[in-house]
Chains A and B, each alone.
Chain A
Amino acid sequence: MSQVNRLNGGLIDQSRSISFRFDDRWMKGHPGDTLASALLANGVRLMGRSFKYHRPRGPLTAGSEEPNAIVELRDGARQEPNTRATTAELFDGLTARSQNRWPSLAFDALSINDRLSSFFAAGFYYKTFMWPAAFWEKLYEPMIRRAAGLGSLSLKADPDNYDKGYLHCDVLIIGAGPAGLAAALTAGEAGLSVILADEDSLAGGRLNAESFAMGQQAGHAWAAETAARLAAMPNVRLMTRTTVLGAFDHGIYGALERVSDHLAVPAEGKPRQILWRIYSRRAILAGGATERPIVFENNDRPGIMLASAMRAYANRWAATPAQEIAVFTNNDDGHRTAADLTAKGVLVAAVIDTRPDAPKGQGYEVIAGGTITNTSGRLGLAQVEVTDAKGNRRQIKCGALGVSGGWNPNVSLTCHQRGRPAWDVDIHAFVPGGTLPEGMVVAGAANGVFSTHAALHAGAEAAVGIAADLGHTAPSPDLPEAEDAPVAITPFWHVSGAKRAWVDQQNDVTAKDIKLAHQENFTSVEHLKRYTTLGMATDQGKTSNMAGLAIMAEVAGKSIPEVGTTMFRPPYTPTAIGAFAGRSRGTDFRPIRKTPSHFWAEEQGAEFVEVGMWLRAQWFPRAGETHWRESVDREVLQTRRSVGVCDVTTLGKIDVQGSDAAEFLNAIYCNGFAKLAVGRTRYGLMLREDGIAMDDGTAGRLAEDHFVVTTTTANAVGVYRHMEFVRQCLYPDMDVQLISTTEAWAQFAVAGPRSRELLRKIVDPEFDMTNEGFPFMACGEITVCGGLRARLFRISFSGELAYEIAVPTRYGDAMIRRLMEAGREFDVVPYGTEALGVMRIEKGHAAGNELNGTTTALNLGMDRMVSTKKDSIGAVLSRREGLNEPDALRLVGLRPVSPDKPVPAGAHLMTKGSAVDAAHDQGYVTSACYSPNLGHQIGLAFLKSGHERMGEILRLVSPLTGIDHEVEVVSAHFVDPEGDRLRA
């Protein structure tokens, strides 16, 4: 198929041809084309089917405001639905598919909806699917789901990368049309740091689409030259293919740069898109204006488009939708289209101008006071029916129709902080009004100033003002002479009497739907929007909202400003979710924290588990072990029999220093710390302000004014934040300093009856390791392996004789290797978090499962720890009556009566013979494991008055998993209840 509608010239490279595919047809285009311009050049007007009625549609616009020409771009994992053909830059090998049609674009089965349109008026869903209620889930919803939606997803992971970044500038200029270019030139020459962003691939805005001269040059040539000048300035950043999506607080703007969308595949390492956050001191909105259509009968046939778009296709892309066209206008702008297309050799059949005093045509017929009352053509426009001022009808043959209803300034970004636009009676459009986002000024067409001359000067003046404001002097810019035509428009919104006249083409909302909404009392503009879905499609009603408001105003007997606009919200144009995620996806969603022994553990083939952001060794499988329990049982038994080593670096370590350090700990822990001797460690419980247990751990006193506080792994950050809050806000008069040392020290638990023997081989001989010299709960600064500074704590989570030894992190890898090597003679074993968990459950130690945000010291059996001799955070509220009921939950142990039965966490306890329901609930299991020492499962549970119910047989039930058997209440200390081992 040849390019039957390709014209001469344009800003495309006609010396080179590139191939692309639309549905199953390969065609040729040129570098510089968009998919839409290339399709038009190839004689293709039909590009999609509408959402609701599956009406055949072609492009209405030539830009990002496009409602109709929505396609699926690319193949395979890069397939992207709902992409505008009008902004998709053509590259060699581009593939696109039409969507929302079956089996083909030309013959679409669901176009039957169009025949049934009288059933699908506004509110159709709300009215139709009400009854019978039972039909909703089984019939209606699946049916609607099948019919709804436009494109399809590839269901494959997006192979491209997205990036995120932050930019700073004195002035952000949004839009590189004449106003934006003049502003950037002025601000740049004044020495301001400038970012000039434009969504297009070329700077110039409408200058690239018009035939105007700028001084002695063509408009587009001036734009290109100016862009080149700006790009050469070190203080100016010219960002094309960059859409400013939203205006946020304090001069912050969001912008999406499409780095690689115009390429088949992004370059190696390069992102597809970058979402920029731009911090600006000032901003100039020079975002231009969008032409609006006029609403008339059957105004949606492929070939009917905005007059400005038709001009853009002809001038910039050297493409015309047809060889014979007509124009329908209410202002002088429509005549520009007729003149430009005539100059390009396209036959202009007529200009239908709604104004009785329409200007004369230059080489084309003008029908003054005329309107278009119908159109025909099955899959594209064939002719229009014109009714002239006297009411006479005639048919005019044309393959395309340019429609111009005037221009709407792009005020969206001025309203992102709830500013409301104001109505300008001269141009019959909303212009920026009310309070603009802080630091923003508006220039050019975005401000309702439509001539090129005025836009240039408004841009330059805005920049001069900002430069002065920021203490710079801007030289008067050298601006070329430019077109300065006044706006000549007589408002005309829709041709009355139409039955099927489309207001919102993307969501298939007709003029009749708007009238119906009013009739049914949806008179607020926000209700109108939601009831009819006007402006709710991906184009956000850029070409439809105004006509909708005008029709609403007419039926309500109000003025347009009285009807008002709906809210404008970011993003300005549809933005891929991937861009918002940026680099934070997949395994990069959050950082990974590795323990000091990680690389060694990998060598051992350890299984890892994510704990917060940490990767911890869960167990260390050995040859022949086929089930994780075999590994874990072995690690537990071997530790309890000889010695085991576990990396416990992940526990939070907070350095607390200062002359009030002890007093500070007295405040954050509910138990006393003031009298803790130097060289000793104490277990401590922290309460929240409301008396609920927050975290537990130990604090070792290294000196009078120096403690090391440990926290649980999960709460390390939260506890540190809490302690900083207490220090800075509750006790600013205390002399206390905090800093995290979690990462600074590699810490290993060395547990088991032979742990002392092992450590004797590590710790330098001058340190007394005897039970008397370094007893249970001792701590101290020592040296190891011939002089390396280290810390030693005699604390035990397992219940065995145990230590924790800490060395500077860089030596952690060497230390674990040394412990394994030195421990070989004692049958040392590394153990992971599973064995750690088993041993702490066997010992009855509370952990995260018990400190679950609902439990008190009383529940945990630690009520006597809450000191009454001092005040501490949470102590007072822990004494609330409701937390101290006689039947409060108490931590107990559970043993299955039949040893082969499980004790699953989450199961509930019931008194024998009682009903199994919430009213009779006695408590629940928090932690459970198989105890290799006892040979059966065990559990920790919270049980009402549990401390008084030792020996009682209860029913353990879990209706979800079908558990229902008997357990015996026992002490939570399954192993060594007297604590002889840890003191050995």
Chain B
Amino acid sequence: MHDLVAITPLGAVRPKVDSHGPVTLTEVTDRALASVAARLGHEAETATALERLLGAPAPGPARHGGKSLMAFWMGPEQWMVEASFETHEDLARQIGSDLGAAASVTEQTDAWCRFDLTGDGLADVFERLTTANVRAFEGGEAQRASVDHMGCFVLCHDARHISVLGPRSSAGSLHHALLTAMRSAH
């Protein structure tokens, strides 16, 4: 076991939590990510393998889902698989061996920062941040979105819980944007 201490995208040892009005903003660092892209001619094979991994069919465009593991759709024949960091730190290696030559798997865990917003009135916050119709979200949506010029994914778990994944290097800017929108809306 190595002895290096990880820091969060915002630069601390522990994730940051902020509350304003009915909304709580939490930095999430306990998720591992790996991208899965089907190789040419191996689309069906990849879909089957993903279904086995997720315990559910691979999510369609702009959706996320899964039982044993979660995944969201990123592009044609391309998904991001998500698991607990504690148990799946080397997620890419694990699912890489499951998928074999059917798909290209790339570690993405630290390419992203993630902030979860929980509470009431999330649509009021998100309508200041993204063109996506968040008010109509019911859960299961995974929308690619530009938030203050940062390429993000907005994942809706339910109307009271929405995650934003953004570029890790800009975690400070993204956190600032989310907090500013929370203060403006509530």
By a beta-carbon cutoff of 8 Å, the part of chain A in contact with chain B is 161, 163-168, 268-271, 274, 277, 279, 583-584, 588, 590-595, 598-599, 613-614, 649, 655, 657-660, 705-706, 733-735, 737, 739-746, 783-789, 807-811, 813-815, 818
When the two chains form their complex, are residues A784 and B174 in contact, meaning their CB atoms are under 8 A apart? no
Task: Report chain B residues within 8 Å CB of A783.
Answer: 2
Residues of A within 8 A of B177 (CB): 583, 588
Quick one: which of B131-153 are within 8 Å of A by CB? 131-133, 135-136, 148-150
Indicate whether A744 sits within 8 Å of B170 (C-beta atoms), given known contacts A270-B183, A658-B40, A784-B2: no
Interface pair B168/A743, CB less than 8 Å apart: yes
B167's partner among A743, A807, A810 (CB-CB below 8 A) is A743
The chain B residue with its CB closest to the CB of A740 is B111
Max chain A CB contacts within 10 Å: which of B7, B20, B181?
B7
**Are B127 and A166 neighbours in the complex by a CB distance under 8 Å?**
yes
Min CB–CB distance A257 → chain B (angstroms): 11
Residues of chain A contacted by B29 (CB below 8 angstroms): 810
Q: How far is the CA of A592 from the CA of B171 in the complex (A)?
A: 9
From the candidates A167, A270, A584, A655, name the one contacting B127 in the complex (CB within 8 A).
A167
Provide the bound-state CA to CA distance between A165 and B8, in Å. Answer: 29
A583 to B183, CA, bound (A): 13
Binds A, one of B56-64, B65-73, B101-109: B101-109
Is A743 within 8 A of B2, CB to CB? no
Q: Which chain B residues (1-58) contact chain A, with CB distance < 8 Å? A: 1-9, 11, 20, 29, 35, 37, 39-41
Which residues of B sit under 8 angstroms from A592, Cβ to Cβ?
170, 172-173
Q: Which residues does chain A contribute within 8 Å of B172, judged by CB atoms?
A: 592, 594
Q: For residue A659, which residue of chain B has the nearest CB?
A: B39
Known pairs A588-B173, A811-B6, A814-B4 / 7 extra A-B pairs, C-beta < 8 Å: A168-B135, A593-B170, A614-B169, A735-B39, A741-B107, A808-B107, A810-B7
* B88 touches A (CB below 8 Å): no
Query: Which residues of chain B come closer than 8 Å to A165, judged between CB atoms?
Result: 127-129
The answer to whether B184 has its CB under 8 Å from any CB of chain A is yes
Contacts of B130 in A (CB 8 A): 166
Q: Judging by beta carbons under 8 Å apart, are A739 and B127 in contact?
A: no
B180 at the interface (CB under 8 A from A): yes
Q: What's the Cα separation between A734 and B35 when bound, in Å? A: 19
Q: Which residues of B have CB within 8 Å of A705?
A: 101, 104
User: Would A745 and B170 be within 8 Å (CB), given that A786-B3, A815-B4 are in contact?
Assistant: no
Q: Which residues of B contact A279 (CB under 8 A)?
A: 131, 133
Tell me whether B148 and A277 are in contact (CB under 8 A): no
Does any Cβ of A come within 8 Å of B98's Cβ? no
Q: How far is the CA of A270 from the CA of B186 in the complex (A)?
A: 8
Closest to B107 in A: A744
User: A744 contacts B108, CB within 8 Å?
Assistant: yes
Instruction: List, in ascending order, chain B residues with CB within 8 A of A811's CB.
Output: 4-6
* B115 at the A interface (CB under 8 A): no
Set B5, B39, B109, B136: member contacting A168, Cβ < 8 A? B136
B11 touches which of A168, A599, A737, A814 (Cβ 8 Å): A599
Q: Shortest CB–CB separation between residue B103 and chain A, in angstroms?
A: 8
Contact of B7 among A591, A599, A614, A737 (CB under 8 A): A599
Closest beta carbon of chain A to B127's beta carbon, Å: 5
A814-B6 contact given A592-B172, A737-B104, CB 8 Å threshold: yes
Closest-CB distance, A158 to chain B (whole angstroms): 16
A179 to B169, CA, bound (A): 51
Decide yes or no: A613 and B7 within 8 Å by CB, A785-B2, A789-B90 being known contacts.
Answer: no
Q: Is the CB of B184 within 8 A of A269?
A: yes
The distance in angstroms between the C-alpha atoms of A141 and B88, with both chains bound, is: 71
Count of chain A to chain B residue pairs whose CB atoms are closer than 8 Å in the complex: 152
CB pair A161–B184 under 8 Å, yes or no, is yes
A530 to B1, CA, bound (A): 77
Interface majority SS (helix, strand, loop, mixed), chain A: mixed
- Which residues on B sit within 8 Å (CB–CB) of A655? 104, 106
A271 to chain B: which residues have CB within 8 Å?
184
Q: Which residue of B lies closest to A167 (CB)?
A: B127
A-B contact pairs, 13 of them (CB 8 A): A163-B128, A269-B20, A269-B180, A592-B173, A613-B170, A657-B104, A737-B37, A739-B108, A741-B107, A744-B111, A785-B2, A788-B4, A810-B6
CB atoms of A786 and B128 under 8 A apart: no
Q: Which residue of B lies closest to A598 (CB)?
A: B11
Assembled-state Cα–Cα distance A733/B40 (Å): 8
* Bound CA span A808–B39, Å: 25
- Which residues of chain B are near A737, meaning CB under 8 Å? 37, 39, 78, 104
Q: Which residue of B lies closest to A657 (CB)?
A: B104
Alpha-carbon separation in the docked complex, A366 to B148 (Å): 62
Q: Which residue of A270, A279, A583, A743 has the most chain B CB atoms within 10 A of its CB atom?
A: A743
Bound together, the chains give a CA A313 to CA B39 distance in angstroms of 72
Whether B148 contacts A584 by the Cβ 8 Å rule is yes
Q: Give CA–CA (A165, B167) in the complex, Å.
A: 21
Measured CB to CB, the closest approach of chain B to A368, in angstroms, equals 57
**B89 → chain A closest CB, angstroms:** 9
**Residues of B close to A813: CB separation below 8 A:** 5, 7, 11
- Complex CA gap A599/B168 in Å reads 14
**Residue in A closest to B33 when the chains form the complex, CB atoms:** A744
- Measured CA separation A743–B132 after assembly (Å): 25
Q: How far is the CB of B36 from chain A (nearest CB, A)?
A: 9
- A639 and B80 CA atoms in complex are apart in Å by 41
B169 touches A594 (CB 8 A): yes
With A and B bound together, what is the CA distance between A739 and B78 in angstroms? 10
A588 CA / B20 CA spacing, docked (Å): 21
Q: Which of B94-128 contact A (CB under 8 A)?
A: 101, 104, 106-112, 127-128
Report A-chain residues with C-beta under 8 Å of the C-beta of B106. 655, 657, 739, 741
Complex: A613 Cα to B101 Cα, angstroms: 37
Contact B184 A743 (CB under 8 A): no
* Min C-beta distance of B168 to chain A, whole Å: 5
- The answer, among A659, A787, A815, for a CB contact under 8 Å with B1, is A787
Instruction: Considering the complex, give the chain B residue whose CB is closest to the CB of A661.
Output: B104
Q: How far is the CB of A44 from chain B (nearest CB, A)?
A: 37
- The winner among B20, B101, B106, B177 for most chain A CB atoms within 10 A is B106
Which of A164, A599, A735 is within 8 Å of B128, CB to CB?
Answer: A164
Q: Which 9 A/B pairs are nearest by Cβ-Cβ distance?
A: A269-B183, A657-B104, A809-B110, A735-B40, A814-B4, A744-B111, A591-B173, A810-B6, A593-B169
Among B2, B41, B171, B183, chain A packs the most CB atoms within 10 A around the CB of: B2
> With A and B bound together, what is the CA distance between A776 and B78 in angstroms?
36
A744 touches B110 (CB 8 A): yes
Q: How far is the CA of A163 from the CA of B35 in the complex (A)?
A: 34
Q: How far is the CA of A734 from the CA of B104 in the complex (A)?
A: 14
Least CB distance from B71 to A in Å reads 15
Interface pair B149/A590, CB less than 8 Å apart: yes
B11 contacts across to A, CB distance below 8 A: 594, 598-599, 813
Complex Cα spacing A190 to B105, Å: 49
Question: How far is B41's CA from A465's CA once the two chains are assembled, in angstroms?
Answer: 49
What CA separation (Å) do A419 and B132 show in the bound complex?
30
Is B173 touching A658 in the complex (CB atoms < 8 A)?
A: no
Q: Closest approach, in angstroms, between the C-beta of A788 and any C-beta of chain B?
A: 4
Chain B residue numbers with a CB within 8 Å of A168 are: 133, 135-136
**Complex Cα gap A807–B107 (Å):** 12
- Tell whether A743 pairs with B90 under 8 Å between CB atoms, given A168-B135, A583-B148, A655-B106: no
Bound together, the chains give a CA A236 to CA B17 distance in angstroms of: 33
A268 to B20, CA, bound (A): 12
Residues in chain A near residue B149, CB distance under 8 A:
584, 590-591
Alpha-carbon separation in the docked complex, A190 to B95 (Å): 50
Q: What residues of chain A lie closer than 8 Å to B148, measured between beta carbons? A: 583-584, 588, 591
Are the C-beta atoms of B39 and A591 separated by less than 8 Å? Answer: no
A510 CA to B70 CA, complexed, in Å: 71
CB distance from B173 to the nearest CB of A (A): 4
Distance in angstroms between the alpha carbons of A277 and B183 in the assembled complex: 20
Known: A592-B170, A742-B111. A818 touches B176 (CB 8 A): no
Q: Which among A167, A739, A787 is the interface contact of B35 at CB below 8 angstroms?
A: A739
- Check B184 against A270 for contact (C-beta < 8 Å): yes
Chain B nearest CB from A746 CB (Å) reads: 8
Distance of A271 Cα from B182 Cα, bound (Å): 12
